[in-house]
């Protein structure tokens, strides 16, 4: 008996059980709500499996169609080529409309929509080949991504929207790496995709959209890599991450975009933690060629790097002060958070202007700030009932501790003793960290349940 059949059986039995006095109305309704939730979850899983199988079938079908066209390409006239290209794409879209009408076969309909989008991109490339169109080649990917976005907008398809997002990242990557420039135009495309994602409540697309945004950041600032050192590049990434985190935190109380901003906050925190960890290495290179001024043709891009960092520092300080002053926390925690932000900015300024004079001080302070960040994440996770913060804190602490252990003790003891002591520390530390993590998670869940008042009325949501 599957979950839906069990739910129908319950609907038949519950009135009899209530007449016998075995259940009251509230308990019966609670049981029905729980069974209904299980039935929906089962249906959702079945839909996902059907969608995955459909997408796999569509990929094979697309490869087959493209292979057939390629094998017979030379022997066909232009009219035949165009007819074959447009008829195959039209057939895919008509099949999707048929499958999606009245929600007959929703998973199959989404798969056929994806097939239509893939054939649309194939048609763009082949038509350009037929008529020998020679233009700015990333525009072909832009046209493909725009067509997918329009399809997703009309048909409200999450699968096609994800395809459009990935194609747009490919388009922007081509513009950045092949033409060496920051491709600001992608942000317009990103904004349209984000609005559609939020309006339709697409959860997976929200993850893909936010990850794509941070990938675009990596691509964009990497275009400065040949003009500046790795250290300054890491600082730019770190400042971008913490600034985005602050902005997301300030907007998370808006109900309409709460899920999206919560995800953005999490990914920005991971992004910032990674680059703060990278900045904690003493071997990180901070080249002083900017101060010598002997590379005239590279002076302007280097100035851009410095100006961008200074602007990000200023925005980060202003937003952190506004966020922590408006947040409902105890006054000492507010000021400690602001001081943490201030010390971070001072260290980054030191690296920017005085790194050649003294290199050890900022590295020591960054490692202290990293440790304080771990404590702050654990505290925030317990206060705000966010298990993600606690898990991230323990992960960051473990990686940092292992890194500093290898940095510090490798040259100080015999290698066999090094591995023995290291193994014991890992076993003991891993056991202790996992034990503490579980305790904190249980305490967080327990506190959250205690904060929710019990009511006898259940709405089933």
Q: Give the span between the Cα atoms of 103 and 230, in whole angstroms.
A: 53
Q: What is the arithmetic mean of pLDDT over 90-105?
A: 84
Q: Give the span between the Cα atoms of 124 and 293, in whole angstroms.
A: 47
What's residue 2's pLDDT?
Answer: 43
Q: Give the span between the Cα atoms of 250 and 244, in whole angstroms.
A: 10
Nearest to 213 by CA among 189, 249, 236: 189
What's residue 412's pLDDT?
Answer: 56
Q: With cut-offs at 50, 70 and 90, classify the pLDDT of residue 411.
A: low
Token pair in block for residue 145: 């991504």
What's residue 213's pLDDT?
Answer: 96
What's residue 274's pLDDT?
Answer: 94
Terminus-to-terminus CA distance in the chain, angstroms?
24
What's residue 454's pLDDT?
Answer: 36
The pLDDT tens digits of the residues spanning 160-213 come to 999 999 999 999 999 988 887 778 999 999 999 999 999 998 999 999 999 999
The pLDDT tens digits of the residues spanning 298-322 come to 444 555 666 677 777 777 777 776 6
Q: Where are any strands of DSSP class E within 396-448?
A: none
Q: What is the pTM of this model?
A: 0.75
Q: With cut-offs at 50, 70 and 90, classify the pLDDT of residue 67.
A: confident
Length of the chain in terms of residues written: 461
Supply the DSSP symbol for 193.
H
Q: Give the span between the Cα atoms of 455 and 451, in whole angstroms.
A: 13
Q: Give the span between the Cα atoms of 265 and 250, in whole angstroms.
A: 10
Q: Give the span between the Cα atoms of 290 and 433, in whole angstroms.
A: 44
Quick check: helix, strand or coil at residue 56?
A: helix
The pLDDT tens digits of the residues spanning 241-291 come to 888 888 888 787 777 788 899 999 999 999 999 999 998 887 776 664 444
Angstrom distances, CA of residue 286 to CA of 233, 279, 283: 9, 11, 9
Token pair in block for residue 76: 């066909």
Q: Give the span between the Cα atoms of 396 and 373, in whole angstroms.
A: 9
Residue 19: alpha-carbon gap to chain centroid: 52
pLDDT greater at residue 328 or residue 137: 137
At a CB cut-off of 8 Å and minimum separation 6, what does 9 contact? 1
What's residue 335's pLDDT?
Answer: 65
Nearest to 198 by CA among 155, 249, 161: 161
The pLDDT tens digits of the residues spanning 321-370 come to 666 666 555 556 666 777 778 778 878 777 777 665 566 778 888 888 99
């Amino acid at each position: 008996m599957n979950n839906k059949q069990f739910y129908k059986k319950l609907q038949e039995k519950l009135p009899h059980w209530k007449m016998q006095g075995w259940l009251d109305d509230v308990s019966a309704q609670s049981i029905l709500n729980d069974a209904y939730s299980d039935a929906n979850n089962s249906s959702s899983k079945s839909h996902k499996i059907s969608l995955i199988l459909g997408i796999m079938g569509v990929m094979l079908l697309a490869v087959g169609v493209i292979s057939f066209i390629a094998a017979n390409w030379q022997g066909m006239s232009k009219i035949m080529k165009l007819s074959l290209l447009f008829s195959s794409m039209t057939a895919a879209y008509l099949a999707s409309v048929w499958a999606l009408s009245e929600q007959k076969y929703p998973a199959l309909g989404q798969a056929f929509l994806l097939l239509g989008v893939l054939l649309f991109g194939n048609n763009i490339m082949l038509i350009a080949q037929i008529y020998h169109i020679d233009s700015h080649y990333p525009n072909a990917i832009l046209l493909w991504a725009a067509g997918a976005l329009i399809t997703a907008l009309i048909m409200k398809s999450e699968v096609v929207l994800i395809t459009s997002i990935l194609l747009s990242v490919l388009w922007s990557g081509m513009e950045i790496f092949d033409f060496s420039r920051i491709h600001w135009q992608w942000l317009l495309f990103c904004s349209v995709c984000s609005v559609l994602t939020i309006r339709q409540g697409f959860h997976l697309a929200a993850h893909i959209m936010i990850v794509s945004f941070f990938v675009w950041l990596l691509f964009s600032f990497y275009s400065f890599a040949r003009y500046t050192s790795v250290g300054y590049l890491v600082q730019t990434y770190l400042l971008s991450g913490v600034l985005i985190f602050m902005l997301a935190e300030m907007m998370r109380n808006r109900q309409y975009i709460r899920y999206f901003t919560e995800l953005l906050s999490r990914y920005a925190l991971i992004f910032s933690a990674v680059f703060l960890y990278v900045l904690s290495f003493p071997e990180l290179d901070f080249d002083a060629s900017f101060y010598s001024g002997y590379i005239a043709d590279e002076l302007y891009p280097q100035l851009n790097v410095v100006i961008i960092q200074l602007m990000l520092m200023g925005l980060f300080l202003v937003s952190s002060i506004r966020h922590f002053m408006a947040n409902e926390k105890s006054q000492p925690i507010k000021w400690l958070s602001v001081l943490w932000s201030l010390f971070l900015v001072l260290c980054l300024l030191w690296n920017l202007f005085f790194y050649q004079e003294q290199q050890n001080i900022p590295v020591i302070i960054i490692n202290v700030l990293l440790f304080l960040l771990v404590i702050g994440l654990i505290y925030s996770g317990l206060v705000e009932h966010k298990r993600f913060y606690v898990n991230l804190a323990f992960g960051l602490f473990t990686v940092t501790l292992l890194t500093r252990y290898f940095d510090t003790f490798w040259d100080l003891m015999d290698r066999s003793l090094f591995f023995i002591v290291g193994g014991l520390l890992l076993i003991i530390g891993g056991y202790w960290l996992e034990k503490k993590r579980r305790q904190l998670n249980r305490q967080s869940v327990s506190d959250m349940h205690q904060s929710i008042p019990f009511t006898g009325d259940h709405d089933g949501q």
